[in-house]
Amino acid sequence: MSGGATAKTYTLPVGPVHVALEEPMYFRLDVEGEIVRGVELGAGHVHRGMEALALRRTLFQNIVLTERVCSLCSNSHPYTYCMAVENLAGMTVPERAQVLRVIAEEIKRISSHLFNVAVLAHIIGFKSLFMHVMEVREIMQDIKETVYGNRMDLAANCIGGVRYDLDEELTGYLLHGLDSVRGQVEGVHKIYSSDRMLLRRSRGVGVLGAADARELGVVGPVARGSGLELDVRHNAPYGGYALLGVEPVVERDGDVHSRAMVRLREIFVSIELIRRCVRELPGGPTTVLLPEIPAGEALARSEAPRGELVYFLRTDGTDVPNRLKWRVPSYMNWEALGRMMRDCRVSDIALIVNSIDPCISCTER
């Protein structure tokens, strides 16, 4: 490292505790001067044994446990888990509950995407833009706190339906909040697609071509940023999405900028979706009575903010599951980091890691 010899090869450890990483992950980089030539990933620093914990809890208690796997997609986990239980028991969720679930899911998606896009600005050192996007996200946080009662854990789902309902006052508040978020995100979208500093740091960085994306099996905004039309809401509609229909947002370049743009554009889609949900909200009950949960196996999948989330459940006729396993989107996406980081600069590592919006606590649970 000494003497300014740029061509010298050395090993650089990044993480697990590092200022530019939001969550603990370990990278062992082979670096040649400023350029990364090889990446090795190490994980396991936030393993909490949650799949084992789930086997010691009742099906009810696991709604709460899965909600606490990760804070940013904390609605997708109990939603998909409840769908798995419902699939197993052959329950039909009332339409009103299905649409209310979509509203909760999309509200969380908007906040999650805003958070990731904000962190992009934070990493490149554009702190004032970071603060601004986080302030826009604060409107979503207020919506969550007012409609659901908490800023992160919505507690919207229960087996067979939802635990909340919208009244006229809250619907008005929600729509008003979405209007102001939409206006603000339009401004943010303009900055992200035109600011020279942002473009110079994010265009052509961490490129993942469509062929590579397909080969590695990436999901969510990472896949859509590389031109793949992959969205569970579109490809295999579930719950309320089967009633509504969603068009996937796709960008072609496969770089850090593309992935950020997919997220920003998806915010507009989500806002439109919530507005439609509120407009077309069917009447009727919000839950169904719980039948006996039989012994058996069930699977459910959904589109979490980071991509496809899969839950597998096996029961033995008691109300404590025999096995509960989930495959999270970041598990598919972080394998692509090696491909994205090939021949990148050391200074871009944090930027590329953030661009897959990794959720380490989901993946290692």
The residues of the shown chain that bind other proteins, judged by CB under 8 A, are: 57-58, 60-61, 63-65, 67-68, 128-129, 132, 135, 138, 145-150, 153, 155, 158, 163-164, 170, 187, 190-191, 194-197
Query: Residue type at 150?
Result: N
Nearer to other proteins, 195 or 253 (CB): 195
Nearer to other proteins, 57 or 345 (CB): 57
Residue 141: closest CA among 156, 151, 129: 151
Output the smallest distance, CB 153 to other proteins, in A.
7
Output the smallest distance, CB 216 to other proteins, in A.
35
Residue 29: closest CA among 42, 18, 45: 42
Nearer to other proteins, 95 or 138 (CB): 138
312's CB contacts (< 8 A; 6+ apart) are 84, 297, 298, 299, 323, 324, 325, 326, 327
Residue 269: closest CA among 105, 154, 94: 105
Nearer to other proteins, 52 or 64 (CB): 64
Residue 37 tokens read as 């030539």
Nearer to other proteins, 28 or 163 (CB): 163
Alpha carbon distance 64, 59 (integer Å): 10
Alpha carbon distance 332, 212 (integer Å): 13
Output the smallest distance, CB 148 to other proteins, in A.
7
Output the smallest distance, CB 146 to other proteins, in A.
4
Nearer to other proteins, 21 or 114 (CB): 114
In DSSP terms, which residues pair with 50 in a beta bridge? Answer: none
Output the smallest distance, CB 4 to other proteins, in A.
33
Output the smallest distance, CB 329 to other proteins, in A.
24
Query: Residue type at 25?
Result: M
Alpha carbon distance 14, 298 (integer Å): 39
Nearer to other proteins, 196 or 279 (CB): 196
Output the smallest distance, CB 104 to other proteins, in A.
13
Go through 194-222 and write b for each residue having 16 or more CB atoms within 10 A of its CB, e for each that does not. eeeebeebbeebbbbeeeebeebebbbbb
What are the respective helix, strand and coil percentages of the chain, to the nearest 5?
Answer: 50, 15, 35
